[in-house]
Amino acid sequence: MGLDESTIVAGLKNALSIGTQNAVALVSKPNGYFGNEAIKILLPDKIQNAAELLGKLGYQQQVDEFIMSMNHAAEQAAPKAASYFGDAIKRMSIQDARKILSGGNTAATDYFKSKTWAKLYDDFKL
C-alpha cells in the first residue's frame, strides 16, 4: 500500500524545512560563507581587475577585508532569508509539491526562486 498524496506532501515540506534549517545553521555561523569554497562570495567580475590592481598597489589587505565583510554580511542575512523560505514551504500547494517531486534536479531550487526571489532582492539589494 502506497502513501497518500497528503502524506507525501507533508514529508516533502518537512524535508525542505529541515534542509533549510540546517543550511541556515551552517552558513550563519562565523565564516559560514567565507570558510566554504563552494559558497564563498567573491568579487564580481566587473571589479575583479580593479581589485587586482589595488592589491598590486599595496591595498591587498583592504581588498581582503572587503571580501570578508561581504561574506559576513551574508552570514548575518541568512536567518532573515530563511523566513522567506519557510513561508514558501508553508504556502506550498499540492501542485507545487508534484512539480518538485516529478521535476529535475533543480525543481526545488526553481520553486524557491519563483516564490522568494523578489522578496530577497528587495531586502538584500545594495
Helix 94-102 × helix 5-27 angle, to 10°: 70
Please tell me the pTM assigned to this model. Answer: 0.73
Give residue 82's identity as a one-letter amino acid code.
A
Q: Are 88 and 116 in contact (CB under 8 A)?
A: yes
Residue 83 or 4, more confident: 83
pLDDT band at 1 (very low <50, low <70, confident <90, very high): low
pLDDT band at 11 (very low <50, low <70, confident <90, very high): very high
Report in angstroms the alpha-carbon separations of 5 from 8, 66, 85: 5, 49, 22
Mean pLDDT for the stretch of residues 59-80? 91
Report in angstroms the alpha-carbon separations of 33 from 48, 57, 84, 109, 117: 19, 27, 19, 19, 20
Q: Are 11 and 97 in contact (CB under 8 A)?
A: no
Give the sign of the dihedral formed by CA 115, CA 120, CA 122, CA 126: negative
Residue 107 has pLDDT above 90, yes or no: yes
Instruction: Return the closest-CA partner of residue 8 out of 94, 108, 115.
Output: 94
